[in-house]
């Protein structure tokens, strides 16, 4: 009997790409999807119908321990991506982030322990570091909770490590830097700029364009998850997926303008800016640790943006696309 893989947040941006990659490998996947009345399967509805034969949809909510326990039954490996992810909303509803990102992660860990799952890959975030104190940032970089969202992810990471040290649960904490690509929510900078330029906008209202980010195309992020699953390395540790290069948001905007053949006038508005002390000014990660798996990014920024723009031209955002409980 083939081993079954559980993916939480499977209907979201990164999660749906990960499910698709696992199915292409011939793996049996149970997709834990966040139930809502608009689109139970989210981006999974876009998958090739031939791939879906190995897919089991399991609607639920990671805040519900009973539903999580049912999802864990009979699986060998868990990729936990379900999270509440919109940073701006975390300023207004921090309790929601604790309930989903921390308590939801505890439910995953408890159920994995009960069902003796062989490996749990917990999805972290480069936001746990706050603004870089040195470049490139490695896994030893200090944590700084510059938003309620980042605080919830720091807590979830610490909880996962505690389950390894206290109970021997085989966890790997996977920390992707900023991922972009097809299916990303319009809440994020790159897709909202692309969508507006393709829609003919000549003026954009944006936030602060001075921060830098280490950007990964979604296919590279997914391949990093798969490499960590297959390697058997880093049990009980955290390991980041990064490119080792940082880009300012103004530079990214200019590349998108060039690729779309459009030029826009932009203004920076306070409503789209984080509180000053909450803004993460620089993020640029080291690849030294992950390189032990032979993983490295295959897609440079210009190529990744080209593919993302083409996807938006052909498909565009999902009708139900909105900030939610998915990665």
Q: Could you report the per-residue pLDDT of 200-226, keeping only the tens digit for each?
A: 998 888 888 999 999 999 999 999 999
Q: Rounded to whole angstroms, how far apart are CA atoms 256 and 306?
A: 8
**Does 263 map to a domain?**
yes
Rounded distance between C-alpha atoms, residue 287 and residue 234, angstroms:
14
> Structural domain tally of the chain?
2
Question: Is position 76 within any domain?
Answer: yes
Q: Which domain holds residue 105?
A: 4-177+217-241
Helices 104-114 + 65-72 axis angle, to 10: 40
Judge whether 323 lies within some domain: no
What's the CA gap between 17 and 119, in Å, rounded? Answer: 20
In this structure, the answer to whether residues 46 and 88 fall within a common structural domain is yes
CA–CA dist 9, 134 (Å, integer): 32
Q: What are 155-169's pLDDT values in tens digits? A: 999 999 999 999 999
Whether residue 216 contacts residue 242, with contact meaning beta carbons closer than 8 Å, is answered with yes
Q: 196 and 162 share a domain? A: no
Pairing of strands 203-206, 4-8: unpaired
What tens digit of pLDDT does each residue of 71-129 get?
Answer: 999 999 999 999 999 898 999 999 999 999 999 999 999 999 999 999 999 999 999 99
Per the prediction, the chain carries an average pLDDT of: 93
How much is the pTM?
0.94
> 201 lies in a domain?
yes
Whether residue 96 lies inside any domain: the answer is yes
| Residue 124 CB neighbours (<10 A) | 22
State the Cα–Cα distance between residues 144 and 122, nearest whole angstrom.
19
CATH number of the domain at 265, please: 3.90.25.10
Helix or strand or coil: residue 57? Answer: strand
């Amino acid at each position: 009997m083939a081993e079954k893989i559980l993916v939480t947040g499977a209907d979201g941006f990164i999660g749906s790409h990960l499910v698709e990659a696992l199915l292409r490998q011939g793996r049996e996947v149970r997709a834990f999807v966040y139930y809502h009345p608009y689109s139970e399967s989210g981006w999974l509805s876009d998958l090739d119908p031939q791939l879906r034969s190995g897919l089991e949809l399991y609607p639920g909510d990671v805040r519900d321990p009973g539903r999580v326990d049912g999802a864990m039954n009979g699986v060998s490996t868990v990729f936990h991506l379900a999270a509440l992810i919109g940073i701006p909303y975390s300023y207004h509803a921090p309790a929601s982030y604790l309930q989903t990102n921390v308590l939801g992660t505890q439910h995953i860990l408890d159920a994995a322990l009960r069902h003796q799952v062989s490996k749990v890959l917990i999805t972290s975030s480069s936001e746990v570091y706050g603004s870089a104190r040195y470049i490139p940032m490695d896994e030893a970089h200090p944590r700084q909770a510059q938003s309620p969202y980042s605080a919830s992810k720091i807590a979830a990471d610490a909880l996962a490590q505690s389950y390894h040290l206290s109970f021997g649960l085989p966890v790997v904490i996977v920390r992707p830097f900023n991922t972009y690509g097809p299916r990303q929510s319009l809440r994020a900078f790159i897709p909202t700029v692309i969508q507006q330029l393709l829609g003919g906008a000549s003026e954009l209202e944006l936030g602060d364009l001075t921060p830098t980010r280490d950007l990964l195309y979604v296919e590279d992020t997914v391949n990093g998850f798969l490499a960590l699953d297959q390697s058997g390395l880093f049990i009980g540790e955290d390991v980041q997926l990064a490119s080792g290069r940082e880009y300012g948001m103004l530079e990214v905007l200019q590349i998108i303008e060039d690729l779309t053949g459009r030029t826009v006038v932009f203004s920076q508005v306070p409503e789209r800016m984080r509180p000053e002390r909450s803004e993460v000014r620089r993020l640029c990660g080291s690849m030294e640790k992950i390189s032990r798996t032979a993983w490295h990014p295959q897609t440079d920024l210009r190529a990744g943006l080209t593919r993302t723009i083409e996807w938006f031209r052909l498909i565009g955002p999902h009708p139900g696309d909105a900030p939610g409980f998915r990665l």
